[in-house]
Structure 1
Amino acid sequence: MDVGYYLNDEDKKELLEAILGQKKFHNLIKEVQHYHPFDFDVDSMEVIDGLKFDTVTPKNDIVTATGIDLKIDDKFSVRYITRYFNGNVEDTSDFFIGTLINERTVENSKEYHLIVFRAANEQTVSIIENTLTDEVIVANKETESKFKEEYNYDENYYPGQLLEQVNAEGFFDGCLAGGYIYCGKNCGGYPACDSSKNGINALDNCCKTHDCCYTKYGVDYKHCLCDQTLCDCS
């Protein structure tokens, strides 16, 4: 159900200017420097990827978003997302996700210390740390590669395209077309926590996590943190 296309050079330039003017971006950089000392150099930043897209949430909200991935150095990268829901451009929000990965060898096997930094406002930077095995890193790369290969790229895409299609065609009750197991109104639900069956793609797995979150904590859990987690995931 997703649709989108790559950012052109003008889009990237405009987005980079917006990023560099944001206090929360510089707050994130400063926080990362406590864990990974480095000299931040704007000219050395590398744009890895950039995409503008529409996607649908399990609650049938249409998210129109623009995202760009930046390589800061060999260990640290930043993803910037700006988005709005259901055509409400006035309510656009944005956030930064920084990922720091340190490789180390433990008992002749590689493992990776992962630190994720999230800056959604100018006051705080949240941090999550985890340790991943080499197998998990490889699996994640394969999943990301498959997602990029199978994504619905449309060179004629324009922001809000999916919303217009939905308004014209309407949504049906049930799983999304294309074989989705967890995405869609009344699709998946409470079995998501117990099922060992993975979704058909990365988005479907995000929906599985979302369904499980609702099952465990209810719709009012920490001011809809389940929904926020889904949006960050997708």
Structure 2
Amino acid sequence: MLCNSLLSRFANQKNIKKRGNEIMQGLVLVGSAIKPESVKVQTLLENPTVANMVKKIKQYRDFADHELEVFDAYQFEGKIKDRENSLKRGEGAVLALKDQSVSLNILFAESGQEKQVHITGFVIQEDNDKQYFYKFQAKGQDIKLVLATEFDGKIKEQYLSNFDQKLFKYDENFKYGILDNENEVEAHISWKDGCLPGGYKWCGGKCHNYPDSGGDGSVINEVDACCMLHDYCYRYDWNTVDGCDDSLCECVKPYSYWAALFIQLYFCD
């Protein structure tokens, strides 16, 4: 397994210098659910980037726009701790067909004066009694196919797991600017262990599962494994490891877990 191979390389390098017992200060993310009925699907579809994504997906599975429903909607604010100009805030929504054969994860984010639109689109296509799975990513007007594979096994499991829970709980006291006040952050983080929701053991600020710090070193899925490698990359001064963030971005690209989209938003621009 790739992850085990990389970890063994870390463990066996004699010239590795450990950066003390500190944990890499990663992504801190807060937010609140929005009532789905307050989100106007047609308004979202009028956005040029969203419209382009829908047009691309319809090449693989045809459907009517009115069939898309709001599965989840939220406000969010996040930053990479101790990294300048990493604060981004905005709104997100997950649109999907009832049978989940098509879904769009949409993020509208602001960073200073810059406005960004990040969309990941998924479609399941039927062909000769087989199902195929496609993942598209859009940034601006550019839409790329990043994954095409049979829809079975692990691919099926990871995609459908996105519909098991909503991203954020409803927080009536949520407001933008929470991350400007350290005393307020803890009260608004939905996950008190510092890990992103969904059972992650390595993804999120102060989130780790190091065996030498009481953990068992395990991961819950492929994205969690990417975060683990990212943490190890930053934990050690190893002169053969460059571009920890770039490696993280490449690592999460093929996966359909919602956490991958937020990692790309904050680490990959």
Give % identity: 21
Q: Is the 8 A contact 2:91 2:107 kept in 1?
A: yes
Determine the structure 1 residue equivalent to 2:173.
156
Of 11, 27, 30, the match for 1:3: 30
Q: Is contact 1:58-1:207 (8 Å) kept?
A: no
Q: Aligned pairs, how many?
A: 208
Following TM superposition, the consecutive aligned residue runs of length 4 or more in structure 1 with deviations greater than 6 angstroms are 185-189, 212-215
SS at match of 2:59: helix
User: In the TM superposition, what are the counterparts of 1:1-234 in structure 2 within 5 Å?
Assistant: 2-8=29-35, 11-13=38-40, 16-17=42-43, 19-36=44-61, 38-39=62-63, 41-57=64-80, 61-72=86-97, 74=99, 75-85=101-111, 88=112, 90-102=113-125, 112-122=131-141, 124-128=142-146, 129-134=148-153, 136-138=155-157, 141-142=160-161, 145=164, 148=166, 151=168, 153-161=170-178, 163-166=179-182, 178=193, 180=195, 182=202, 183-184=204-205, 197-198=218-219, 207-208=227-228, 210-211=230-231, 218-219=243-244, 221=246, 225=249, 232-234=261-263
TM-fit CA distance, 1:50: 0.9
- 1: distance between equivalents of 2:66 and 2:162? 31
Paired with 2:169 and 2:226, the residues of 1 have a C-alpha distance of 18
Q: 1:127 to 1:226 in 2, by over 3 A?
A: closer
Alpha-carbon separation, structure 2, partners of 1:51 and 1:70: 12
Contact 1:210 1:227 in 2 (8 A): no
Q: CA deviation at 1:177?
A: 6.4
Using the size of structure 2 for normalisation, the TM-score is: 0.57
Where structure 1 has 5 or more consecutive residues not aligned to the other structure, the ranges are 190-194
Q: CA RMSD in A?
A: 4.5
Over residues 78-121 of structure 1, what are the superposed CA-to-partner deviations in whole Å (9 max), with x where a residue is unaligned? 12111134xx2x22211221100236798xxxx75210111212
Alpha-carbon deviation of 1:30? 2.5
1:121-170 deviation per Cα after TM superposition (whole angstroms, max 9, x unaligned) = 22x2100213343455345545763x548x55422212232x1333x579
